[in-house]
Amino acid sequence: MVIKKGFPVAPAVAFGAADAGVEIHQLSKWFAVDENRVQALDRVSLTVQDGEFLTLLGPSGCGKSTLLRMLAGLDVPDEGDVAVYGARVERPSLSRGIVFQDHRLLPWLTVRENIALSLHKSGLSQQEQNARVSELIALVGLMGFDKAKPYQLSGGMSQRAAIARALAPRPRILLLDEPLGALDSLTRTRLQNELIRLWEAERITVVMVTHDVEEAVYLSSRVVVMESRPGRIQSIIDIDLPRPRKRTDVRLVTLREQILASLE
Amino acid sequence: MAKQQPVLTPSAWRPLVVPLLLVTAWIAYSLVRDTGDSATFTSPNAFAVAVAKDTASGFLPGAIAATLARAIAGFLIGASAGLAVGLAIGLWRPVDRLLSPTIDSARQVALFAWIPLLSAWLGNGEAMKVSLISLGAFFPVALATAVACANVSRPYLEVGQVLELSRRQEVSKIILPAAAPAIVAGLELGLNIAWLGTIGAEYLIGTGYINGMGDGLGAYLAQAREYARMDRILIGVIALALVGLALDRLVSWSSRKVFPWHRQ
């Protein structure tokens, strides 16, 4: 558990190296608010290792979601670069799965059709696609809900389906934008454990945005604490505790208190 | 176990209260002072006799059939054109720039103000009436379709980006289904205007010594007025209300069947 304060320095290796999961280099972003230009992110640099579970944590307005959207390719940086597995991010890609806070399942499609839609570039035959979708429905625990429409699902079930849709094309990285933020606490706790299980089963890199400190320390291998106006990295906290973790583990509780104190 | 539902629950018969009160008042009034002047008043008795007579002779069913046929023909033509133009405007920016200002101006002309122009070109026959009705259906359908396609919510469009959908897939999988409920609302409005326009066209155009009376409920009413037949005036008005209501209910019932996720 090492707490590094201050700005992380630029990566020593060449930018765009394929062995690093995510490289963010001196990234800045401004938004136009009325007549003014407001800086959302100020020269953020960060490297995410392959296979890491990394959380971006911070108060609203710290630019954590904006940062994630730039990893997804939904927003473009004004300055700086973003590369994922050696490829510069220029537009959204199925190789970077994303789950939003609102599940964004298409209401006119069934659960199965929603998930299958992300396989249209997979090159799989129709049969293989069906098999892959069934596999994912089982993976996220939605057996028997293939033919359900999103409006017939609870919030937690919808989010499971959204996760399945993001995972279907076998992305190397999963981007989660407050995926559990709209759920009740029981469902949220259950889905946190599911996320860990999926991350371990699929062996993928996860970058998750959250404002829930307990969620961040419980799930992550590293927590990036951000501060706002302008959005910057305040500190990066390694959480090298063994898994499975216990929420009541005194080391987790201490870390949570430390982070909460640093956010005040 | 299905519970036996009484056929007439309070909420089921509540809509009938006002019509029943009106009928009661009518009966009471006719008992107290029936002037016998058939130009200004008709008794419930005389009314019932006239309904029976005009039904038996085929005059009333014929008028209803003619009006329905005309309204539906005009609606089909106008709504098809409206759908085509609305889709073109909603899906292609250049077409929007090309057509929208003209359509927005033409839309400001009241439906019946087109009569002089259309009758100069098309005469006062069937072609003219159906054109007028089509025009009435065209504008609401074109407008609703264009707006619905152009304003699909950003989160859904982002799903399309994230899933790397082609433009064609984006239109078929996201834009059209998302726009469908609003397009159907436009179709409902178009049908309503076609229905009202049909009566107007029949009433205003199908009369006069040169053209004869024409047919349809509008002409039925015009004739009733010409011959000062209060019984037929009432029959015409009530038939318009009932058939119009039936059309409206049929359309909104079927749109609820088609879009179960909508209006939930």
The per-residue pLDDT of chain A, averaged, comes to 89
| Mutate which: A117, A149, A174, vs B, most B CBs within 10 A | A117
Residue A3 has pLDDT above 70, yes or no: no
Note whether B161 contacts A91, CB cutoff 8 Å. yes
Among residues A83, A89, A78, which one has the least CA distance to residue A28? A78
**pLDDT level of residue A17 (50, 70, 90 thresholds):** low
Residue B74 has pLDDT above 50, yes or no: yes
Neighbours of B163 (CB within 10 A): 27
What's the CATH architecture for A51-75+92-249?
Answer: 3-Layer(aba) Sandwich (3.40)
> Which pLDDT tens digit goes with each residue over A181-206?
888 998 899 899 989 999 998 889 99
> Which pLDDT tens digit goes with each residue over B165-212?
999 999 999 999 999 989 999 999 999 999 999 999 998 886 544 455
Note whether A102 contacts B155, CB cutoff 8 Å. yes
| Mutate which: B153, B154, B162, vs A, most A CBs within 10 A | B162
> Quick check: A147 contacting B, CB < 8 Å?
no
pLDDT of residue A36: 86
pLDDT of residue A15: 63
CB B264 within 8 A of CB B257: no
Average pLDDT score over residue span B103-108: 90
The per-residue pLDDT of chain B, averaged, comes to 88
Average pLDDT score over residue span B32-40: 76
pLDDT of residue A119: 95
pLDDT of residue B213: 63
Closest partner residue to A92 among B164, B177, B178, by Cβ? B164
ipTM of the complex: 0.89
Residue A18 has pLDDT above 70, yes or no: no
Q: Are strands A3-5 and A232-238 parallel, antiparallel or unpaired?
A: antiparallel
Domains of chain A, by residue range, sit at: 51-75+92-249
Name the more confident of B261 and A101.
A101
Closest partner residue to B155 among A72, A104, A150, by Cβ? A104
Average pLDDT score over residue span B116-144: 92
Average pLDDT score over residue span B59-88: 95
Note whether B155 contacts A107, CB cutoff 8 Å. no
Domains observed in chain B:
45-258 (1.10.3720.10)
Chain B closest-CA separation from residue A250 CA (Å) = 40
Return the structure tokens found at A210.
């959250």
pLDDT of residue A53: 95
Number of inter-chain CB pairs under 8 A, A vs B? 48
> Quick check: A123 contacting B, CB < 8 Å?
no
| Mutate which: A106, A114, A120, A129, vs B, most B CBs within 10 A | A106
Contacts of residue A138, Cβ cutoff 8 Å, sequence gap at least 6: none
> Which pLDDT tens digit goes with each residue over A128-144?
999 999 999 998 999 99
Note whether B261 contacts A151, CB cutoff 8 Å. yes
pLDDT of residue B210: 47
pLDDT of residue A233: 94
Contacts of residue B24, Cβ cutoff 8 Å, sequence gap at least 6: none
